[in-house]
Amino acid sequence: MRARTSSEMTNVSALNRVLPAISIETDCLARIVGTRAGNKLDMLVPPAGWLEPAVSVADMLTFALIEAGHGPAEAKSIAMVGEDTLLATLPAERRPVMLDYAGIHACASFSDVARVLADLGQREAEAAAALSRLSDEAACSTRFAYGELGNSTRSLRDLGSEPLQSGLTEFWPSIGSNVAWLLAEDDRPAEGKMLAWMEMMRPTIEALEATVGTRLFYFKEPDDDLDDDQAHRFLALDYVCHMIPDSSFVRYLVEASGAPSVEALRASLLAPASYSPDFRLFDSFHGPEVSSQQEFMMPLAPGC
C-alpha cells in the first residue's frame, strides 16, 4: 500500500471552516459594556456557518466573573482553569484560535462558554444567561455591509455556511501590521521582512497563477500611495506561517488542517489543487466588513 504524502494528509479547505467568515483576522462584531467600571467584552466574527458570535474564552469568563462580584485577580485565576477545562473538551472546529489587532485568542462560541459559567454558581449562571441574550441579539443584528453584499446589510445568521467569496481576499497591509504587532517590531523591520517575503515568493506566485488560471496576488504599483497589495487568504496564511511558525495561531492551523508539520501546511497552501480557478481577487476596501461597532449594556444583576 502506498504511503500518503504530506500534502495528501493536509486538508487546507478545512481551514475555511475555522477561520472567520470574512477574513483570516477576526473583527469585533459588537461590544458588551459591563456594570463594573472598565469591564468590557468583545463579540467576535466567528467562522462561517456559526449562528452566534465567537468569543475569547478567557475574556468571557473573566468578564462574567467580575460581573458576578469576583475581584479581577480572582476572576482571572478562575477563568484560567475554566478555559483549560473547556478547551480540553471541544473538538478543534469548536475552539478556533483567532488572530486580530490585539493578539491571538483561544476562542469558542458564546453558548459553550456560558455552559461553563452556569456550573459555577447562581450569580455566574445569571451572568451567563444575560450574555446569551445579548449574543442572540448581536447575531440577529444587521452588522455586515459592502462587498458582495451590496449596499444592504446582513446579520451574522444571514451570511451562510461558507466563507464569503469576497472575504477570501486579504487586505495585505492589515496582515503585515498584525504580524508586526505580534513580533513586537516597529514598522521598518516588519515592512522589510514583508517585502522580502513578497520578493522571494513572486516567482512562485506567478507560476501558481499560471497553473490555476486566475490571479491570486495583486502587487501594488510601487509609486501609487493609494494602491495596496491584495492576496488570496491561503497566500496570506503562508506569510503568517513564515513569520510566526511557533505561534499558537499557526499551531492551530496545523492541527485543524491535519498537516504533519508547518512545512507540510505551507506546501499545501502553495499547491495548485488548493485553489479554485473561479476565485477572483476582490477590492478589500469595499468589504465585506462589520459596518459599525455596536455596544450592548450588560443588565444589572438582581440586588445591584
| Backbone torsions φ then ψ of 153, nearest 5 degrees | -125, 155
Instruction: Report how far residue 46's alpha carbon sits from residue 96's, in angstroms, rounded to the nearest whole number.
Output: 9
Q: How many CB atoms lie within 10 A of CB 281?
A: 17
- Neighbour-count burial of 38, counting CB atoms closer than 10 A to its CB (0-12 exposed, 13-18 middle, 19+ buried): exposed
Report the pLDDT value the prediction gives residue 286, as an integer from 0 to 100: 65
From residue 223, how far is each of 124, 205, 219, 295 by CA, in Å?
Answer: 56, 22, 12, 40
- Which residues, at least 6 apart from 76, have a Cβ–Cβ distance to it below 8 Å? 58, 62
Strand order in the sheet with 142-145: 153-155, 142-145, 289-290
Report the pLDDT value the prediction gives residue 190, as an integer from 0 to 100: 76
Helix-helix angle 233-243:262-269, to 10 degrees: 150
**Residue given cell 471552516 in the structure block:** 17
Q: From first to last of its 304 residues, what are the pLDDT tens digits of the chain?
A: 444 555 567 999 999 999 998 889 999 999 999 999 999 999 999 999 999 999 999 999 999 999 999 999 999 999 999 999 999 999 999 999 999 877 899 999 999 999 999 999 999 999 999 999 999 999 998 888 765 555 557 889 988 888 888 789 998 888 888 888 888 766 567 778 888 999 999 999 999 999 999 999 999 888 777 788 899 999 999 999 999 999 999 999 999 999 999 999 999 999 999 999 999 998 766 667 787 778 989 986 544 3
Report the pLDDT value the prediction gives residue 2, as an integer from 0 to 100: 43
Report the pLDDT value the prediction gives residue 6, as an integer from 0 to 100: 53
Q: Per this entry, what is the length of the chain? A: 304
Report the pLDDT value the prediction gives residue 142, as an integer from 0 to 100: 86
Instruction: Report how far residue 195's alpha carbon sits from residue 243's, in angstroms, rounded to the nearest whole number.
Output: 12
Helix-helix angle 110-118:72-89, to 10 degrees: 120
∠ CA 186-204-11 to the nearest 5 degrees?
90
Instruction: Report how far residue 80's alpha carbon sits from residue 120's, in angstroms, rounded to the nearest whole number.
Output: 14
**Dihedral of the CA atoms 295, 64, 122, 87 (nearest 10)?**
120
Report the pLDDT value the prediction gives residue 304, as an integer from 0 to 100: 38
Peptide bond into 288 cis (omega under 30): yes
**Measuring CA to CA, which residue among 67, 195, 75, 50 is closest to residue 122?**
67
Report the pLDDT value the prediction gives residue 74, as an integer from 0 to 100: 97
From residue 298, how far is each of 31, 121, 184, 218, 293 by CA, in Å?
Answer: 10, 18, 34, 44, 16
